[in-house]
Amino acid sequence: MNNFVVKKRLSKLTMYNKKQKDQHSTPDHRTELSELGEFALIDRLTKRVKIKNPGTLKGIGDDAAVIELKDKVLLLSTDLLIEGVHFDLTYMPLKHLGYKAAVVNFSDIAAMNGIPKQITVSIAVSNRFSVEALEELYGGILLACEKYKVDLVGGDTSSSVKGLMISITVTGEAVKNEIIYRNGAKEGDLLCVTGDLGAAYIGLLILEREKQAYKADPDMQPELIDYEYVLQRQLKPEARTDVYNLLKGIGVQPTSMIDISDGLASEILHICKESGVGCKLYEEKIPIDTQVRNLAMEFRIVPAVCALSGGEDYELLFTINQRDVEKIRLVQGISIIGHIVPKSEGQKLITPDGLSIDLTAQGWDAMRKRVS
């Protein structure tokens, strides 16, 4: 695992103090944003950008990027992240934030059975941040682009009265008859999920716990040892762009698909609503890592709740025709967790003791009223 991942040698959580001191700048060298101006800042942040796809005819430097398409379909998605709503810089390093902001957009393309190709990045930033701080942010974005072979082709910058806002738009390609929508699930289809669920939420709980401990005692040492997996799932998630080739290699095309950003329950309900169907989800079939189970119990949470309502796992939830069941069973890392039923039977969670209860979405909702 590279040194970009949270490691045991972390001695203290990153903290922004009330005087808005920028910890990403060295005491003897800090470049103020006003020293460069908008266009010089864009040049500096994007000077390392390299074009990797032949379809990118024009990237940064004009009024719009130019992307060539032939026999494929262009996919387009956008995401907005706001400090204090979607991320907390108390414990989210800017490089990790940049990486995550890009990856969550790549995940949207993967959920359509496509391949991400280009992104534009727009930010609104207050004078709390230095040029070096923004270089850290863009360093994470560029690292994600390098790993997933995505081109950064443009964007915009603006000032903000308070905090940081990031808006990323992603384009992707897909073969027209291979695109997977949310509305294709049919009665009898099997519900499948990649990877394991709930780890990102547990990672968030640990970071929040350490934040509260820091507030009580600024000299404390954070207890992050042995939590590397769940912290990585929260701070540096990965998009399952590999699933496209994996499923194609075994001759399976999902009937519906969605990425798990807001919790398993919420995503299943999205598929059911768009497809006009019901479902039966079996709690004991939900893949949950052993460490997540143990930590959930420490937090006095039912482990399945972390998977159902936690969110930010960025695994893929999809349905397949029953005829493909044997093919799926041979693939490591994919779990069959339920099946699709007529809409009249509702959306149900089946507990280990056989109880059937209504499946409800209690995951992330950016517009939900918060108590301050």
pLDDT in tens, 240-254: 999 999 999 999 999
The residues, ordered by sequence, that sit 6+ positions from 171 with a Cβ below 8 Å of its Cβ are: 67, 74, 75, 76, 116, 117, 118, 119
Which pLDDT score, from 0 to 100, does residue 166 have?
Answer: 98
Dihedral sign (CA 174, 110, 267, 365): negative
Interval 194-209: pLDDT, tens: 999 999 999 999 999 9
Per the prediction, the chain carries an average pLDDT of 88
d(CA 157, CA 34): 13
CA-closest candidate to residue 227, choices 260, 204, 251 = 204
Query: CB-based burial of residue 281 (10 Å sphere; 0-12 exposed, 13-18 middle, 19+ buried)?
Result: buried
Superfamily of domain 33-178: PurM-like, N-terminal domain (3.30.1330.10)
CATH 3.90.650.10 in the chain is located at 190-358
Average pLDDT over residues 317-321: 98
Least confident of 52-66, 151-165, 316-330: 52-66
Average pLDDT over residues 4-23: 41
Average pLDDT over residues 3-11: 40
Question: Domain 190-358 classified CATH 3.90.650.10?
Answer: yes
Look at 304 and 372; give whichever has higher pLDDT. Answer: 304
Look at 174 and 62; give whichever has higher pLDDT. Answer: 174
pLDDT at 371 over 90: no
Which pLDDT score, from 0 to 100, does residue 16 have?
Answer: 35
Least confident of 67-76, 310-319, 359-368: 359-368
CATH 3.30.1330.10 in the chain is located at 33-178
Report the share of the chain in percent with pLDDT over 90: 72
Q: What are phi and psi of 307, to 5 degrees?
A: -75, -40
The residues, ordered by sequence, that sit 6+ positions from 248 with a Cβ below 8 Å of its Cβ are: 178
d(CA 318, CA 333): 13
pLDDT at 267 over 70: yes
Q: Which amino acid is at 242?
A: D
Cα Rg of the chain, angstroms: 22
Query: CB-based burial of residue 366 (10 Å sphere; 0-12 exposed, 13-18 middle, 19+ buried)?
Result: exposed
The residues, ordered by sequence, that sit 6+ positions from 119 with a Cβ below 8 Å of its Cβ are: 102, 105, 141, 145, 150, 151, 152, 153, 168, 169, 170, 171
Which pLDDT score, from 0 to 100, does residue 5 have?
Answer: 40
d(CA 341, CA 343): 6
Look at 66 and 96; give whichever has higher pLDDT. Answer: 96
pTM (2 decimals)? Answer: 0.85
pLDDT at 122 over 90: yes
Least confident of 7-11, 45-49, 99-103, 257-261: 7-11
Residue 176's pLDDT band, with cuts at 50, 70 and 90, is: confident
